[in-house]
């Protein structure tokens, strides 16, 4: 399930991913990303991940989502206890043009937000 994180700077879109994610989660997220892009030209995201599980439909939506926002999302700070996930996302950021990705542990949430604030559009 995707839940919006409130109380962030206006140019940062925050999403918490927990439990089972579905195709419908992505269908709710897409309009929010579109609106955020229209207001801020690019998207910087804070993504918190807790105990998540993908359905097959969600995995397909995740791949489509990634390609739809190629070039729009410029920075992602991923906060997770799953070290492999942070490392995987950082590696993905190295091959995605113009995308910066940094992984952080939950106790470094403030550091993740500070890093994201300093990323240029």
- Distance (Å, rounded) from C-alpha 57 to C-alpha 34? 21
Q: Note if the pTM is more than 0.85.
A: no
Sheet holding 43-54: strands in order across?
A: 2-4, 12-21, 43-54, 73-80, 100-104
Task: Give the domain range for residue 43.
Answer: 2-117
Q: Is the model's pLDDT at 65 over the cut of 80?
A: no
CATH number at residue 51: 3.30.750
DSSP string, 48-111: EEEEEEE-HHHHHHHHHHHHHTTTTEEEEEEEES-HHHHHHHHHHHHHSTT-EEEEE-GGGHHH
| Number of separate domains in the chain | 1
Output the pLDDT for position 19.
Answer: 81
Per-residue pLDDT tens for 89-103? 666 666 667 788 888
Least confident segment among 22-26, 52-56, 116-120 = 52-56
**pLDDT class of 40 with cuts at 50, 70, 90:** confident
């Amino acid at each position: 399930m995707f839940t919006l994180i409130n109380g962030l700077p206006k140019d940062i879109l925050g999403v918490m991913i927990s439990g089972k994610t579905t195709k419908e989660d992505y269908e709710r997220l897409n309009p929010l990303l579109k609106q955020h892009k229209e207001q801020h030209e690019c998207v910087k995201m804070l993504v918190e991940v807790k105990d998540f599980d993908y359905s097959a439909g969600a995995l397909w939506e995740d791949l489509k989502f990634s390609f739809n926002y190629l070039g729009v999302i410029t920075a992602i700070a991923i906060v997770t206890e799953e070290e492999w996930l942070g490392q995987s996302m950082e590696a993905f950021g190295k091959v995605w043009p113009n995308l910066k990705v940094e992984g952080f542990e939950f106790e470094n949430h403030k550091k993740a937000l500070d890093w994201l604030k300093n990323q240029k559009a």
